[in-house]
Every structure is written in structure tokens, then in C-alpha cells.
Amino acid sequence: MTELTITAPDDWHLHFRDGDILKETVAATARCFRRAIVMPNLVPPVTNAQMIREYEARILEARPFGSEFKPLMTLYLTNTTSAEDIHQAKAAGAVAAKLYPAGATTNSAAAVSALDALFPVFAEMAEQGMLLLVHGEVTDADIDIFDREKVFIDRHLSRIVEAFPNLKVVLEHITTAEAAHFVRDASDKVAATITPQHLMLNRNDLLVGGIRPHNYCLPVLKRNTHQQVLREMVASGSSKFFLGTDSAPHEKHRKESACGCAGCYSAWSALELYAQVFEELGCIDKLEGFASHYGADFYGLPRNSDTLTLVRDPWQIPEQIILPNGNPIVPFHAGQMVNWKLKQD
């Protein structure tokens, strides 16, 4: 196969950040994704309806000329989020709220440390038809970082799903066999996103031969046996698993530091890298469902009506990209060859 035409895809989990960097990140995503679920972990985080409207306006302002890309906005949950906040966020156009355990990842210090207190909020979300998006890791100091996803599922997510059977839940950027099997075996109200880095890499790619900061993300890469299960899930064609890049830009000097930031900036090549994975797995015919159908269906949104075409035309991902402020950023898989390329009109 040398050419593949699919329904235009969406990205169901990414980070744009804020300020001048939006000129880079929004354009990179809008080149091939028609919609994207935008994470709210800014500084300060997006915790109310007014902030949702203002952030959405900044994203729309940063779109390339003529682009019809649509950001799908989310609310950042805190210990003080109320049912009224959910009601107002829904009225402001938010489609989901994001649960970060406090301290779990970038800009999550203000997030949730008393999860049970949010159960009335989850009830309101179910009533409003607002999805719960979960960064599924505990942050206890005594829990090994490679076990934090499993412990979160056992300790928290299983109770949430049981207590709120009508609440749609997306376990974001899953990394383990336990997470994949939990989602697979749960009700049709539970789904998961999977990133390109967790399909392509395992912890050897982070640690062997020296620490590779541009492969560092949270949840952290796991052993290859978990990677293989994730690849099996997407190859199965299950509609419970769909595309969410978790594209997360950080300037080069913030990644290559004594305490480097977590995140892989994959927007520049994400769809092409997913195509490469599906081709490797011998199931490129299943890419369209994963990238273009299952996420929209789960969110209860219409599938995109247009198409795009990928061609088998190897190209090299840039070693770095210069941001509007003049600083470099290193994209995921920088300097590596990719077999598929977006066909330009």
C-alpha cells in the first residue's frame, strides 16, 4: 500500500500551553487534526467558565489563516470544584473535566488531593453529560513510579466507575497491561487514549545508553511487556481505545536540565507515526477507526465529514523547531525517518 485515505482525524488529548507558543502548537495540530481535547493545566490552571472562554479565544486567535480547527475545552478539577462550576463550565462549552492527582505531572500542584470529596462533582458531571478525563497515577512517595498507574486503578478508578455507572470516563495516555485490561473489561462508559510514544517506546528507550530526556513523559515509559499489550489493544480494533497524542511541548533547555520537564512534543508527526505503528502491526486498515471514529463516537460528537490522505513517502522529522520566542524545541522522534507523510493539496 502506498496511499491511505481516511476520515479526517481528531486528537483526544493534548497540551497547547499558552502565550506565544500557541502560534506553533495550534498550527502543528491543525495541519491534520480537525478537533482536539485541550488540557487545562496552565499557570494558573483553567478552573472556571470564564477562564475556559478566554483560553478558547486565545487558541482560536492562534489558528492558521483559513483553518477551521476546533478546540474542545476542558475544566481543571481542584479540591474546591463545585457542582455549580460543572454546570457553568458545561454552559461555556466544556465537554469534559480533567482529574489530575496533585503533583502527578506538569502544572498539577493545584489539582486534587482529596478525591472522595469530589464524588458530588462526579455525580453532577454524569447528570450534565460531561466526561471525566483521568490522569491515572497515585503520587504517594512510597509507591514506585512504575506501579503508580496500577495502584490508582485499584485504589481509585475502580471505585469511581462502580459508583457512577453513567459517567463516561477516559483513562488518558495508558501505559500498562493492567490499564489496558481494565478498560477492555469495563463497561462501554469507559475508554482510553494511547500516545505514539507508548506504542513505539519502552523504558529501555529512556534509560539504556544514557538518559534520553526527550523520551521522558508522564506516565513514564514502562517495560516492553506493557508496550506489547498496548500494541495488541490497538491492533485488535477495539473501539475502547483511540488516538490521544498527549503532545506536550517544552523548550529544549527545560527538557535538557538537571530536573527536566515531562512531555513529548509529537504534534509535528503524530499521525504519521501512528500510521507507521499500525503498518508494523499489519493492521493499517484499523488506523481510521482508532484515529477518526472511536473518539468522536465515545464523546457523542459527529465524525468529521472530510478526509485526508497519507502517502508512503519517507521523510525526516526535524532535529529541532524554533519557537516564536526564538528558543528551540525538540520534537518527538527528532531526526528519525518516518515512512508516511500527509499528502498536501
Active site residues: 246
226 marked ligand binding residue: no
16 marked ligand binding residue: yes
184 marked ligand binding residue: no
297 marked ligand binding residue: no
41 marked ligand binding residue: yes
Cβ pair 330, 318 in contact under 8 A: no
C-alpha cell at 304: 468529521
Burial label, 105 (beta-carbon count in 10 A; 0-12, 13-18, 19+): buried
Characterize the bridge pairing of strands 321-322 and 11-14. Answer: unpaired
246 marked ligand binding residue: yes
Whole-angstrom distance, CA of residue 297 vs CA of residue 284:
20
148 marked ligand binding residue: no
298 marked ligand binding residue: no
Whole-angstrom distance, CA of residue 200 vs CA of residue 228:
9
Positive or negative: CA dihedral 23, 28, 33, 36: negative
218 marked ligand binding residue: yes
13 marked ligand binding residue: yes
287 marked ligand binding residue: no
Burial label, 340 (beta-carbon count in 10 A; 0-12, 13-18, 19+): buried
Query: What 3-state DSSP class applies to 264?
Result: strand
Characterize the bridge pairing of strands 11-14 and 35-38. Answer: parallel
Residues belonging to the binding site are: 13, 15-17, 41, 98, 135, 173, 218, 246, 250, 262
Show binding-site residues for substrate. Answer: 15-17, 41, 135, 218, 250, 262
Known binding-site positions for Zn(2+) = 13, 15, 98, 135, 173, 246
